[in-house]
A = this chain, B = another copy of it.
C-alpha cells in the first residue's frame, strides 16, 4: 500500500485565482468599481450604516470571545472577518423575508434586531435557543451542519403555498435565505435542499459563506472547483461574490432575493470570505494553517475598506467614527453585564417543554426531580411550592 497518494487532479480543473469570477463593487482599498450585472442601490448613508453594523457586530464578537476566555461562556464561534457577508446580506432582507442561520450568523442576527445577549445564552449554556424565531424572522441557530437548509427550503415551499410569491413587491412577497458554510456543501442534506428547492422552484436564496475552512479542513477537501458552480448542476444559478465587500454582497443578495420573491426560484450565493479567527474558542488554528494566510486576508478586511471609502469619498469625519467606537464600547459593556447577570436555568422547567402536550411520565419525572432537588435545600419546599419556571 502506498503511503501517500499521487495527486491525480484531472485535466480541466485548475482553480485559477479565486478572484476571477468574483463580483466586487468596493475594492480592499475602498474604491468603488462597476460590475456589468450588479450595482449597489444604496447611498452613502446606507454605507455608513453598514460600517456601524459591522463595527458593532465585531465589537460584540470580541466581547464574547473575551467572556469565553474568562469562563463566562462555554464556547464562542466568532464571525470575525465575515461581517460584510453577514451585514451585506442581512440588510438586503425585505420585511417579510426570513432567515435560517447556522451558528455563526451573529451579524445577520444583528440586522434583524436579535438581542446579542440572546446569542450568548446559547454559548453560555443557559439555553439552546432563546430568541423568538417567529417575531424576529431569524430562526434558531442550527448546529447540525446543513440541516437548516432543508428547513429553509420547506419554509419557502410554505411561502409559495401561502401565496406570498410573485406580486412584484417586497411588501407583499416573501423569500427565505438559508445560510451555510463551505464545509456544509458536502452534507447530503444540502444537496437535497438544492434538489427540493429546484424541483418546487422555491423562493429561496442559499447563502454560502466560503470562509475557506471547515474547522481544520481547507475548502479543497470539500470541492476542487468554485462552490458557486455547484448550483448549475441542480438547475439554478450560482454566483460568487466578494464576501468581504458589503456593497457587492448587498447587491447580489438583493437581486437573488428579488428573483426568489418574484417566483423565479432559487439562487446559490457563494460569499468568498475568510474566517479570521479560530473555528471556535476551542480551536487552535496554528495546528493546521499558516499565519501568512491570515496576513493576506487582513489586507482585505471588510470593515477597513468601508472605512477607507467613507474617509476618502464622503465627508464622514473622525468624530463620527469615534462616536461609533463609543457606541460599540457601550454596547459591549451592556452585553457583558447582562450576560453576567443571566440566571442559570432551572431543570424543572425543561420537563414541560419537551412536548406541547406533556405526558404523564414527564410530569412524574419533574415531580421526582423537584422532590429530590429539594431534599438537599432547606428552602426547597418553598421553591417547589411556587413552581419555579425555566428562566432563560
Contacts and interface: CB of A to CB of B under 8 A. Distances in A.
A198 B186 contact: no
A126 to B, nearest CB: 34
A224 B232 contact: no
A195 interface: yes
Nearest to A229: B233
Given A1-B163, A8-B165, A264-B11, A235 B224 contact: yes
A195 B224 CA distance: 9
Interface string A241-266: 00000000000000000010001110
A232 to B, nearest CB: 6
A27 interface: no
Contact of A195 (B1, B162, B186): B186
A10 B186 contact: no
Interface of A is mostly: loop
B263 A8 contact: yes
Contacts of A160: 5, 8
Nearest to A230: B233
A162 B2 CA distance: 7
Contact of A6 (B166, B195, B232): B166
A163 B233 CA distance: 32
Contact of A223 (B161, B235, B238, B265): B235
Given A198-B224, A235-B225, A264 B188 contact: no
A230 B1 CA distance: 33
Nearest to A9: B201
Contacts of A1: 161-163
A232 B235 contact: no
Nearest to A221: B199
Contacts of A392: none
Given A223-B195, A223-B199, A233 B236 contact: no
Nearest to A263: B8
A237 interface: yes
Contacts of A234: 223, 225, 230, 233
A17 interface: no
B8 A265 contact: yes
A187 interface: yes
B166 A195 contact: no
Contact of A191 (B188, B200, B201, B238): B188
Interface string A213-234: 0000000111111000111111
A233 B235 contact: no
A232 B10 CA distance: 13
A234 B198 CA distance: 17
Contact of A264 (B10, B163, B187): B10
A374 interface: no
Given A12-B237, A231-B233, 17 more contacts: A1-B162, A6-B263, A8-B201, A9-B201, A11-B264, A186-B195, A187-B188, A190-B191, A195-B223, A198-B223, A199-B220, A199-B221, A199-B222, A199-B224, A223-B235, A225-B234, A225-B235
15 contacts: A1-B161, A5-B160, A7-B201, A8-B264, A10-B264, A10-B265, A13-B236, A188-B188, A188-B191, A188-B192, A199-B220, A199-B221, A199-B223, A223-B235, A233-B238
